[in-house]
Structure 1
Amino acid sequence: MFASVDGGQARATIDAAWDLGVRLYDTAPVYGYGRSETRTGLALGPRPRDEYVLCTKVGRLIEPDGPDTQSIWADPPSGVGPRLDYRYPAVIRSVEQSLERLGLDRVDVLHVHDPDQDYPTALAEAYRALADLRNAGVIRAVSLGVNHADVAARFIREAPAPGPDCVLLAGRYTMLDQSGLADLLPLCRQREIAVMAAGVFQSGLLAEPRTGAAYGYSRVPDALLSRVRALRDLCHRYDVPPLAAAIQFAFGHPAVATVVVGARKPHEVDESSALLAYPIPPELWRGMKDTGLLPEDVPTPSGDS
């Protein structure tokens, strides 16, 4: 995303994650228009298949001259692009194509990717296709990959039983955005649906406050920038790297099973591992609530709520 990565670097990054004990890997057909799946398969193919969990997504077919392109992918393969399609046959075809790119015989978790793009079809057909694959033992879990917590909550309530097993929620349960807490996370906890919290760095905004494009804005609003700087200042006061707090924050909620972060270089995997293990005093979370940077009722890793 945004910057080109060569195949050797991609392989070294996954190797670094494996060596650190990472055993869950998330990819998608649209990531690099098939390139992410191909590289993921090359790196994981030699590994014992039962020792890791592999997630990919459905909702976009990669095909010649696919029209639904995105500008965020650097140096995509020429002549191909994504096409949105949540219909049952397209989902089955998408899974077949993913397995071919991965060079593997199965995936463990399938996300319906961005179901808000065509919600009625995603609910009626894509979910049914994934549920049939789950019933047949082809996949282990049905999931959603979403950027909007309200969409996921609606989908969970409207999907036929037994419903999704997990949800990949991007950017909606973070130190800056707790919109997932209003409905989705309590619903997931009630129904024992595992939440994968992604986008915890908020498009890099927590790493480096700036006025350029981030967090879905062409220009970050001044009020949001002020909040980011206050969060960072408070972290520094307790000698905690802001990104350590960002990674660990989501684990305070009992519905969150894992935090998903990206990396394009091996040292970034090493850094994320160190941030996850960094000791954070309970006083930091208490300070965030006392200063209004976090709502009082947000659960934190210390157990404070």
Structure 2
Amino acid sequence: MKFERLILGTAGIGGIWGEVSPGASVQTVLLALERGVKAIDTAPAYAHAEAYLGEALRQWKGPVPAVSSKVGRLQGFTAYDGRYDYSRDAMFRSVASTLERTGLTSLDILFLHDPAQIPEGEFGAAVAVLQELKEKGYARATGLGGNPPAWAWPWLRDGGVDVLMEYNRLNACHTEAMDTSLPACIAAGLRYFAASPLNMGLLGKSFAGFSGDYPAWLPAGDLKAASRLHQLAESEGMPLRAMAHRFLLSIPLTFNIVIGPSNPQELEETLGDFAAGPLPETLYEKILHYSKEISTR
């Protein structure tokens, strides 16, 4: 089966959620390419992800995949290392370092990472630098990589960028984007990438751990939604992870999905989920009902 809608996210294999094996991370990229995934997303902030991607691309003998990366958020080695520099010099240095680490000569998409971290009065200047990088050939398209604040939407609607990537806005826990940013992007002719299909692992391997001692950043409403979804998945005889992945295939709108495996086994499980296709209509409608019920409380 082809996986045209899937994009391999590299935060997990980079090591920001915990220690990883460099060899396994490289093999995860190679396996994704062998199985037909044609796009990869990375970032300097994803610890060693760009270096592992570069090593995988040096070993890969097939067609070069579409690669996106980001500027603005500096290299960090955990998910909580949030350091930022949106100055022109820093953004140019960041892209140069990305190209060196990955071995590429240009990127398919360059995202402004975590746009909500930019003061409103400085946002236009950051977008202008992003466009300059595109004009100089560093990237063929530009985007916002992270949930944008309301005041950023004029740049999206008026053609300031080409792609929007959001996280935890379109998954089985959160369907807000179905009524807001996704149709807005479609109307504006922008591509939309749904990242974190498992809600930062809550709908996957982290469900049990988060249920016992959930982290401070996880809203209590998310945990409640995940618990109901877990019960629903059990009643249907399928893993919560698989139900969450297949839910995205059931949404009747056009968008891409950024998956986040941390190793080859997780990648195989994820691809198996998507290969199974959309959910039965009745199950899809139940998940929508649960999500909207939680969001209105």
Instruction: Give the TM-score taking structure 1 as reference length.
Output: 0.79
Q: 1:49 to 1:139 in 2, by over 3 A?
A: farther
Computed over aligned residues only, the root mean square deviation of the Cα atoms, in angstroms, reads 2.7
Q: Number of aligned pairs?
A: 274
Alignment of 1:197 with 2:204, yes or no, is no
Match of 1:72 in 2: 79
Match of 1:21 in 2: 36
- Structural mapping, 1:99-138, within 5 Å: 99-120=99-120, 123-138=123-138
8 Å Cα contact 1:173-1:179 kept in structure 2: yes
Q: Quote how far apart the aligned CAs of 1:255 are.
A: 5.2
Q: Quote how far apart the aligned CAs of 1:41 are.
A: 0.8
Give the AA of the match of 2:91: V
Match of 1:98 in 2: 98
Moved more, 181-190 or 128-137: 128-137
Alignment of 1:157 with 2:158, yes or no, is no
8 Å Cα contact 1:58-1:112 kept in structure 2: yes
Match of 2:19 in 1: 4
Which of 264, 267, 277 is 2:265 aligned to?
Answer: 267
Q: Quote how far apart the aligned CAs of 1:194 are.
A: 1.0
**More helix by percentage:** 2
Partner Cα distance (2:58, 2:120) in 1: 36
Kindly provide the CA deviation profile for residues 241-292 of structure 1, in whole angstroms up to 9, marking residues without a partner as x.
Answer: 3222212333444554221111221111110000112242112113335xx3
Q: Quote how far apart the aligned CAs of 1:127 are.
A: 1.4
Match of 1:171 in 2: 168
Kindly provide the CA deviation profile for residues 8-30 of structure 1, in whole angstroms up to 9, marking residues without a partner as x.
Answer: 11111111111111111111111
Larger RCO (CA under 8 A, 6+ residues apart): 2
Q: 1:254 to 1:271 in 2, by over 3 A?
A: same
Q: Quote how far apart the aligned CAs of 1:159 are.
A: 5.7
8 Å Cα contact 1:29-1:37 kept in structure 2: yes
8 Å Cα contact 2:113-2:144 kept in structure 1: yes
Give the AA of the match of 1:107: L
Partner Cα distance (2:73, 2:225) in 1: 36
Match of 2:212 in 1: 211
Q: 1:138 to 1:227 in 2, by over 3 A?
A: closer
Q: Quote how far apart the aligned CAs of 1:233 are.
A: 2.0
Partner Cα distance (2:18, 2:155) in 1: 38
Unaligned 5+ segments in structure 2 are 1-15
Partner Cα distance (1:55, 1:26) in 2: 5
Match of 1:303 in 2: none
Which structure would you say has the larger Rg?
A: 1
Q: 1:275 to 1:127 in 2, by over 3 A?
A: same
Q: 1:224 to 1:167 in 2, by over 3 A?
A: closer
8 Å Cα contact 1:195-1:255 kept in structure 2: no
Partner Cα distance (1:58, 1:41) in 2: 17
SS of the aligned residue for 2:231 comes to helix
Partner Cα distance (1:104, 1:70) in 2: 23
SS of the aligned residue for 1:45 comes to helix
Moved more, 259-268 or 49-58: 49-58
Alignment of 1:30 with 2:37, yes or no, is no
SS of the aligned residue for 1:295 comes to helix
Alignment of 1:249 with 2:262, yes or no, is no
8 Å Cα contact 1:55-1:108 kept in structure 2: yes
Partner Cα distance (1:121, 1:94) in 2: 22
Partner Cα distance (2:257, 2:108) in 1: 17
- Structural mapping, 1:283-298, within 5 Å: 283-289=282-288, 292-295=289-292
8 Å Cα contact 1:197-1:256 kept in structure 2: no
8 Å Cα contact 1:171-1:177 kept in structure 2: yes
Q: Quote how far apart the aligned CAs of 1:190 are.
A: 0.3
Partner Cα distance (2:175, 2:128) in 1: 30
Partner Cα distance (2:121, 2:85) in 1: 9
Partner Cα distance (1:257, 1:247) in 2: 14
8 Å Cα contact 1:202-1:215 kept in structure 2: no
